[in-house]
Structure 1
């Protein structure tokens, strides 16, 4: 039998390593950083940072009887002290009568009060934090001035976990079907003295406070979205298309396709002017039915012109939509498409209603009963673009699609300062709404139409105007 060949086995003594390692030299210094592009350079991207405003230097002072509360870092002349997210409540308690005191404390407290015709009343504590400033035994006598330094809570806990503290908020809908929702915050100072017989000698000062956490979109609204047809070709990603259908009760009149275009980010500041474009597409006979009232053929035809006006012919500023009176209706969730929007339909109307507006929906759940109310928080302004002729003599093919277009913008009312939130038993959501109504809706072949699209409103714009970089593109 042949034996397998033997192979030499290398031992560690036979391994050799190179003795001459490559030489290393320290890398050069990193280039200097500059915020603005130098000659021959260009900015590839820019991410905005929230504008950091200078902390106010004013002092808010409130005196009740012999107790004075001073809160620092406030704007001059404010009616109520205001704090942002992660703020510090810094101030001083001054006692005109500091004798015979057992203890002095301050308490930060947040409450949520909800009351509705459907579910009754609910009062919940969001948070309550007590801080002792002085008690007998700390020193011989209570000082007349007691400073305090308290972080304002940014989160709270309940059975479902930890949540962000909601902003101060108040909404009241009075009437037969009422709803009241409030998030309130206060600083409570308590001065305890020895009993006088069976009477407690406690002095309490309650100072209301406003909590206003700030937020902003993660992307900006493009600065030049009008004219629409130019911008949608150059930057189609800057627009979001919202589609809906205006139905017809007459089979001979096709329904109208409604296309609302809004800035693609869909998160807007309460101070932003939101550009919108509305297009109605349908055969000419459908658009004629929308523009003209239904009249007998013996009467003269009305003009097809549209005036550039406010987007709404409605006089109602707000309305209420509550759950039905039956018990089964109370278990429903608030609708995304609301069918109870009011329309203005005077019997002699000669112009259609074309309306785009912002709506806030406030919903609650108290004792298992849901209720919601809707409030208009911003009206849009629309102006019609040049429309094609819709006269039957000028339309070669009645089944071909024609279009009516409007451009405009919508903005929150001046008294809107916070965005939507969900906290405890209160849910606040915002929508952009399109509302269409033909002249004489009762006799028109077209049905009245409304469509809601959810958006998010925040407190601050993406970029303050004075923070805009000077780009060298």
Structure 2
């Protein structure tokens, strides 16, 4: 290169104009390439362990390994199971040898081996004896109780007699020890009002109080739930009851609030915003190590009918003849367990099943009502069979 020649001067280019997908006035789009969606799949990938469940969205249905493209969204959900550890307890484990070879080559088992086994009624735990619990496997329950009859056949192998081959046959068994109430309940069709004076011993009074907000000046309402005095009922029994609310007229008026519809067999009819329930509840308590797990479920919902005249859809205010000047509101109804309930309550150290009749009353507009919600449980016993005079 000639040294006398110098390079031309350099002038920087002007900056490139800024780019935007937004059209300016007077501009229009001539052609546009549509961008492919990040994912067009609607399936999901799921991986489950004992404690964790992971779900990933937007996956090809049936895919074994999740797949993603450029700038894809990894979207899903994570569920963590927070539960108590489980345990298994063997209540009884009885085994019997039905036949055993004497070792001779001519020994042959009989073709038919009759047997008779007595199902035990108790078991030992910690040096104490407890009744054997019934078969139990309830929906939503954290525990179950089951029994199995197993027949095991062991025989030596022909080439290696010191090794044995086994064959087992297992059959699940149900254990339902029968029980019945020690006394009958009143025949259906007899109302509480017609029997409480002539046969007061037939009824048991369950007392509770519907409290009020202290600053409201409203006197609490006394609640009496009358149930048959035997307090032990068969799973199929129709249990009559009578509900009476007692208090000054000002308290009962605050409770009634408004009237809605004619009385019927629904537990919440008759009063707007007021929910009155009488039902059978079951509590299952499972002991796992040092922890206790509690579960509750409703076994049967009661029906209520407000005692009213034919011309008035409101429950009747019954003015007391006593000197306290209190009025009353009265309902009557029946309770019965759902048909799928087959096991009464029981209690062992590892598992307790307790049944109760529950009275639940929620006042109208509970956030502003001067009355507070009532929830009262009264323990009862359930039996497999109804009372019988035949013993």
State the TM-score, normalizing by the size of structure 1.
0.58
Q: What is the DSSP-based 3-state SS (H/G/I as helix, E as strand, rest coil) of the residue aligned with 1:125?
A: coil
2:125 matched to 1:158?
yes
Preserved contact between residue 119 and residue 367 of structure 1 (Cα < 8 Å):
no
Closer, same or farther in 2 for the Cα pair 1:170/1:142, shift >3 Å? same
Preserved contact between residue 172 and residue 181 of structure 1 (Cα < 8 Å):
no
2:114 aligned partner: 147
Deviation at 1:140, TM superposition (A): 2.8
Question: Whole-Å Cα distance in 1 between the matches of residues 348 and 95 of structure 2?
Answer: 22
Deviation at 1:453, TM superposition (A): 0.4
Preserved contact between residue 281 and residue 355 of structure 2 (Cα < 8 Å):
yes
- Counterparts of 1:380-459 in structure 2, within 5 Å, are 380-386=302-308, 387-388=315-316, 400-459=325-384
Deviation at 1:305, TM superposition (A): 6.1
Question: Whole-Å Cα distance in 2 between the matches of residues 202 and 117 of structure 1?
Answer: 40
2:205 aligned partner: 241
- Counterparts of 1:310-329 in structure 2, within 5 Å, are 310-311=266-267
Q: How many residues are aligned here?
A: 296
Preserved contact between residue 225 and residue 231 of structure 1 (Cα < 8 Å):
no
1:134-187 CA deviation, whole Å, 9 max, x = no partner? 1112973122332221111111111141111110001353xxxxx621111011
Closer, same or farther in 2 for the Cα pair 1:172/1:389, shift >3 Å? closer
1:45-93 CA deviation, whole Å, 9 max, x = no partner? xxxxxxxxxxxxxxxxxxxxxxxxxxxxxxxxxxxxxxxxxxxxxxxxx
2:272 matched to 1:350?
yes
1:216-242 CA deviation, whole Å, 9 max, x = no partner? 111111226732122000000110000
Preserved contact between residue 274 and residue 411 of structure 1 (Cα < 8 Å):
yes
By percentage of residues, which structure has more strand? 1
Unmatched runs of 5 consecutive residues or more in structure 1: 1-115, 174-178, 293-301, 314-348, 469-473
Q: What is the DSSP-based 3-state SS (H/G/I as helix, E as strand, rest coil) of the residue aligned with 1:286?
A: helix
Higher CA-based Rg: 2
Unmatched runs of 5 consecutive residues or more in structure 2: 1-80, 309-314
Bigger relative contact order, structure 1 or 2, given CA contacts below 8 A and separation 6+? 1
**RMSD over equivalenced CA pairs, Å:** 2.7
- Counterparts of 1:70-469 in structure 2, within 5 Å, are 119-137=84-102, 140-173=107-140, 180-195=142-157, 200-223=164-187, 226-249=190-213, 250-292=215-257, 302-303=258-259, 307-311=263-267, 350-386=272-308, 387-388=315-316, 400-463=325-388
Preserved contact between residue 360 and residue 377 of structure 1 (Cα < 8 Å):
yes
Question: Whole-Å Cα distance in 2 between the matches of residues 202 and 303 of structure 1?
Answer: 73
Question: Whole-Å Cα distance in 1 between the matches of residues 339 and 139 of structure 2?
Answer: 18
